[in-house]
Amino acid sequence: MIAEVDAAALTTTEAASLIRSGGLGAEDYAAALLARAERLDDLNAIIAIDRQAVLAAAREVDLSRRRDASSLGPLAGIPLLVKDNIDTASLPTTAGCRGLAGNWPRRNAAVLDSLLGAGALVFAKANMHELAMGITNNNGSFGAVRNPYDRHMIPGGSSGGTAAGIAARIAPAGLGSDTGGSVRIPASLCGIAGLRPTVRRYAGAGVVPLSHTRDTIGPMARTVADVALLDAVITGTAVPAPARLAGLRLGLVRDPYWRELDGETDAVMREALERLTSLGVVLVEADLPELYMLQAQVGLGMTRYETIIDLLSYLAEAANGITLDEVASGIGSPDVAASLRAARGDAAPTAAVYDTTMKILRPRLQRLYAEYFIVHRVDAIVLPTTPLPARPIGEDETVRLNGREVPTFQTFIRNTACGSTAGIPGLSLPAGLTRSGLPVGLGLDGAAGSDKLLLSIALAIEAEFGPLPAPTI
């Protein structure tokens, strides 16, 4: 038997290698992580789990290895936390909402199937911000998720349960979804790595939707190397080699990404930039002052228009007998109830406004990014994933930033929403800890389709920066 502490210390890559070689039993590994999940239940990272099913699936991996070790996939025996808006045939998919409690999918999401085909196991369904409509993960239906680095703080969202569970070493990796920052924000606040791929790079079927234009599943893990492994399995491609940092050109968009940062976030990010330049990275300073204004014209209206259409389509496809009214009446989070009312009410965007958004405004935003990468010859943009670290649970409407109250949602998504709306890839990896011990994420945005380059750059940075200290839990 492997001890809980030893199982928790293993990365995805390390655990998979040990299981394939026979140095670690998949069932022993799963049992140790199940014990850890039970001990850390107060983090509230998990919505649903079937212990016996996890052990049985792990046992099958061990049997397969004894029969023919060469048949094992690259993720054999790896338990995954799956955000609860991603369909699983073995557990219900509620999207963190009591109104979807009876939603038991007939099949797995396509992306999850590719990982299970490589030998991974569904460990549990992870808690999330209800219906993925927020970033605090203060869920009124299933309770707030707590940040492993400080239980009084939010983990970020909406994929907060996945991020908190991975950071707490309950599972080595998992899946989130990202519409405006929902993989990268919790990755940043919990000190792990998370990738938002170029839109349409991954199959989108089998996810409770917010916006078909912006939604995508994203892999999350403690290391970029593990995220790259998950991405390679999902896409059927090779894991990229680390980039050469000397001579690498990274865009530094001070206006708007680096404006008004929290003091401790600013200190960590300044040190990160100094380390990058000492490694030979060339920081190309060029601003995009119109970016936030253009995002404000495109993002929210587009999402609100698509939310109702996409939810109705999901419910019809699921054939679970649940109506949109029943979903709405089952919402436990006041902010989410208000967002859904806004999407359904008289003030919702009209078809004409949506048409203008999709034909004129969003293409303008996409061109702005595309031209930036070409004109300034940069390989990626470097930015603070969020302008501030985790804030206390319960500060759902406003948070304090540099002595003044600012809107919680809009502030935390400030640096992630623009790229999401444009459909470009983005990644967050750990940059360091604040003086109070809270993680800060370094963000990278790439040109559309440059996912492998982005991972390659992040792999090289990770090799130099090293991992964060584990939370003391």
Which of the residues are catalytic? 83, 158, 182
Distance CA 426, CA 446 (A): 6
Q: How many CA atoms lie within 13 A of 263 on its CB side?
A: 5
3-class SS of residue 191:
coil
Measuring CA to CA, how many Å separate 320 from each of 99, 139, 293, 314, 456? 12, 23, 40, 10, 42
What 3 state SS string does 46-61 have? EEECCHHHHHHHHHHH
Structure tokens at 52: 């016996």
DSSP string over 102-124: T---SS--HHHHHHHHTT-EEEE
Q: In terms of Cα–Cα distance, which of 421, 424, 441 is closest to 293? A: 421
Distance CA 147, CA 167 (A): 9
Distance CA 175, CA 75 (A): 14
The answer to whether 50 and 210 are in contact (CB under 8 A) is no
Distance CA 123, CA 46 (A): 10
